[in-house]
Amino acid sequence: IWTTVQYVPMPTALVRPPPASLPPATGERPDRKSAILLAAEKLFAQRGYHGVSIRQIAAEAGVPVALVGYYYGAKHELFHAIFAHWQPTIEARLALLREAVAQTRAQPAALHRIVSAFVEPVLRMRASPEGEFYALLVSRELLYVRDETDRVLREFFDPLAHTFIDALHTVRPQATRAQTAWAYQFALGALLHHTSDRRVQRLSRGANPPNDAAAAPLLIRFITAGIDAALQAPPTHPDHSKESSP
């Protein structure tokens, strides 16, 4: 049974102004501030946090170097600001997960709907021009444990993870919290790999475009089946260990 998941609104798109329109490096200009955030998002996604300097971000945005610090402070604060900008999409995903649980708690399709609410907004974002680099940044950069990413994970993504784990536990109450947390981790791994991998095009001999949003039904079925199998009640078998040999 397929479900239609509500559209998750994107935050206001960051559109870099053309170089000719850049004003002198004085005063507040929202377009320059947005240009810096967009440039940082793109470069962090492509090269990694430690592979990018403030000077490179300023050059990509077409602004003076000093303006980056004026608007955002140090590099780690600029990194944090990217995720703060996209916070509305996380809030929308939280709402979708809660709605999926409330509507389908007693239905056989409940697990499928929860997984859909978890997966589909990410794939839509990855396929959108305004969300492409952000989705890539999440799938690549947050995998590396360090102070900058740990702060982002705790503040923005842990609430989403806990909500998904709670939702899974609601529809599979026979599982322990520990088992459900593992199921979340495995589901997240499949989702993040799909959003960042390019090898599938080669492995499919050109049949599968990388990060193809059309693969969403297959990915959702895959994750749903895996979670369902992992969180089933363990079968009860008689203990033959104490039986005497004939």
Rounded to whole angstroms, how far apart are CA atoms 178 and 75? 36
Rounded to whole angstroms, how far apart are CA atoms 138 and 153? 10
Rounded to whole angstroms, how far apart are CA atoms 89 and 93? 6
- Please report the pLDDT score of residue 139 as a whole number: 85
Rounded to whole angstroms, how far apart are CA atoms 80 and 155? 10
Query: What is the SS3 assignment for 117?
Result: helix
Cβ-contact 231, 175 below 8 angstroms: yes
The pTM for the full model equals 0.78
Q: What does the pLDDT profile of the chain (246 residues) look like in tens digits?
A: 333 344 444 454 444 434 333 344 445 566 999 999 999 999 999 999 999 999 999 999 999 999 999 999 999 999 999 999 999 888 888 888 888 888 766 577 889 999 999 999 899 888 888 888 999 899 888 777 788 889 999 999 999 999 999 999 999 999 999 999 999 999 999 999 999 999 999 999 999 999 898 999 999 999 999 999 999 866 555 445 444 444
Cβ-contact 226, 186 below 8 angstroms: yes
Rounded to whole angstroms, how far apart are CA atoms 210 and 195? 8
- Please report the pLDDT score of residue 202 as a whole number: 97
Rounded to whole angstroms, how far apart are CA atoms 145 and 207? 35
Specify the length of the chain in residues.
246
Residue recorded with tokens 């993870």: 161
Rounded to whole angstroms, how far apart are CA atoms 106 and 175? 16
Rounded to whole angstroms, how far apart are CA atoms 53 and 4? 42
Q: Which two tokens stand for residue 144?
A: 């590396």
